[in-house]
Amino acid sequence: MISATVIPEPDLEFGCAGRQVEQRRGIVLHGPADVEMEGRKSEIHVGVVGPTAFVHELVEWLTECCEGIVGKPSRFEDLFPAFPGCSPTLGFLTALKTPKEAQRDLSKRRLRSIQDATTDVGRIAAAVTICADEVRALHERAAVDVVMVIRPDGVPAGVPQEAATGGDFHDLLKAELITTQRPVQVIRPATWRGGRGVEDQATCAWNLFTALYYKAGGKPWRLVRSHNKPTRCYVGVSFTKSDAGEQLLTSVAQVFNELGDGVIVRGGLAKRSGADRQPHLSREDAAALLSAALARYKSEHKTLPAAVSLHKASSFSDEERAGFLQARDKSQLSECELLWITHAERAMLIRGTEYHPPLRGTLLTLNEDEHALYTHGSVPFYKTYPGLYVPRTLGIRTVLTERSIEEISAEILALTKLNWNRARLDGKKPITLLTAQRVGHILRHVPAHVTPAPSYANYM
């Protein structure tokens, strides 16, 4: 029987166990989640690589942001709040430093090989080589937490992935630097200059400083802790096209804890099924992927979780299900939920007679195993719908679960907020699958014999 309900917006946890439903409001009221944690950094050191004039502009803009940016004039004040600044007493409660010795200027002469290239592929390749070399040189002379790389003029965002050397500047640069210890933040001049298609300056500052804080090892916010429930980690399994053959896809597992700390594991090859045209792993490779993900999780966090929520962007074959449960038993987990999360269900709802978008959190149950969840929709906190297009649901197919669909849906809603590139209540996908394609595209350019950095911060 078809039914609909609205899942309340789940809280997030911030500093001193303060709670709020919205990320930016929580930071302003309570500070970041790690404010009382041992080893938290009181300063974040940021390096900068880019064309000479751009480096100067970016450093100036970061300095202005640290002093605060007024919000966009709007009747929706909660949707466009001011950026409070970034200092030991404001915002993320840390000082952002851009030391002179950690700034690498790229002269016009140094960039000439980009202009001399005759194809987009050549220009991207030249830019990646130049910027990667400068990042490595910066690390040799300065200790920083994050390196910001300004994409040079004349470098296209990307070329089709289908091309033999296809890919974009962001992915290829991340792949080239995937063994370096410190993360990279790619930025365009339009971010601080503004212009068509760019969000207001306060929103840009919120998104950028959230990303920088996380990449520097900070914990902006976390899922609410439940002391009477077993510890749980969240695993996303996705696939990306392999160079080994048209029907083969590389599997990737993305593993997150309740703090949003993420690790990445590359698995074996999946084969596209002739029956449903979806990628599937063998039983052995499914078991190996989840076992490797849990081993990497234990290596990073010094303990195994008691339960796992595994999200997959395609259906589960019987072999995959058996393999994942084999890994569950091997690691002695108390629970391993298997959820097939689709990009969109065909079912849609309309709210009221004036065709308002459904509320974020609206859950439509189609049958016992098929559900549609509006993770993107009208947000009461903002008093409006923050999107540009008609919202579509996220499909949830329950393959193996022990909890209610309401509890699972609330968890998925909360996981859409662990997006360190966007501090707002308009995320559609949970963090387990949000960047699955991007991570896969980066790893596609990393040779099999190279062991990539495990931290999710190196991929975002």
pLDDT in tens, 108-125: 999 999 989 989 999 999
**Contacting residues for 448 by C-beta, under 8 A, at least 6 apart:** none
Residue 323 phi/psi, 5-degree rounding, is -65, -45
159 and 186 fall within a common domain: yes
Q: What is the pLDDT of residue 158?
A: 64
Structural domain includes residue 34: no
* pLDDT at residue 164 in the model: 42
Whether the CB-CB separation of 230 and 307 falls below 8 Å is answered with yes
The Cα 383–Cα 22 span in angstroms is 13
Domain residues for 319? 228-458
Out of 182, 215, 248, pick the residue that ends a domain: 215
Check which CATH number belongs to the domain holding 310 and give it.
3.30.420.10
- Owner of token pair 């999946």: 270
Over residues 54-68, the pLDDT tens digits come to: 999 999 999 999 999
Strands 362-365 and 3-6: what pairing?
A: antiparallel
State how far the Cα of 85 lies from the Cα of 66, in Å rounded to an integer: 4
Evaluate whether residue 6 is within a structural domain. no
Query: Would residue 167 be called left, alpha or beta, if left means φ above 0 and alpha means ψ between -120 and 50 degrees?
Result: left
One domain for residues 124 and 242: no
Residue 268 lies in a domain: yes
Q: Does residue 50 fall inside a structural domain?
A: yes
Asked whether residue 24 is domain-assigned, the answer is no
Distance CA 77, CA 74 (A): 6
**Cα 35 to Cα 16: distance, rounded to the nearest angstrom:** 7
For residue 348, the one-letter residue type is M
- H helix intervals, 266-420: 283-301, 318-330, 405-415
Same domain assignment for residues 106 and 235: no
Let me know if residue 21 belongs to a domain. Answer: no
Q: What are phi and psi of 90, to 5 degrees?
A: -130, 145
Tell me, yes or no, whether 17 lies in a domain.
no
Helix residue ranges per DSSP H, 31-93? 52-66
CA 298 to CA 303: how far, in whole Å? 5
On the 0-12 / 13-18 / 19+ scale of CB atoms within 10 A, 398 is: middle
Paired with 69 in beta bridges are 83
Specify the number of domains making up the chain.
2
Taking the chain (460 residues) in runs of 10, the rounded mean pLDDT of each run is 91 96 98 94 96 96 98 96 97 97 95 91 95 97 97 79 62 95 94 91 98 97 89 93 67 92 91 84 96 92 92 94 97 95 76 78 93 94 91 94 96 96 92 86 89 92
Check the CA dihedral 414-435-339-446 and report its sign: negative
Tokens of 392: 């579509």
Q: Which two tokens stand for residue 260?
A: 């949003």
Cα–Cα distance, 338 to 328 (Å, whole number) = 11
pLDDT value for 236: 95
pLDDT (0 to 100) of residue 310: 97
Residue 35, Cβ neighbours under 10 Å: how many?
Answer: 17
In a domain, 275, yes or no: yes
Q: How far is CA 159 from CA 50, 125, 406, in A?
A: 21, 11, 42
Same domain, 151 and 185: yes
Same domain (yes/no): 397, 424 = yes
110: left (phi over 0), alpha (psi -120 to 50) or beta: alpha
Residue 50 pairs in a beta bridge with: 105
Residues 245 and 208 in one domain: no
Q: Which pLDDT does position 163 carry in this prediction? A: 44
Q: How far is CA 389 from the centre of its chain?
A: 22
Sign of the dihedral through C-alpha 282, 285, 287, 290: negative
pTM, entire model: 0.93
Where would I find the H helices in 167-280? 169-176, 189-193, 201-215
**Does 192 share its domain with 241?**
no
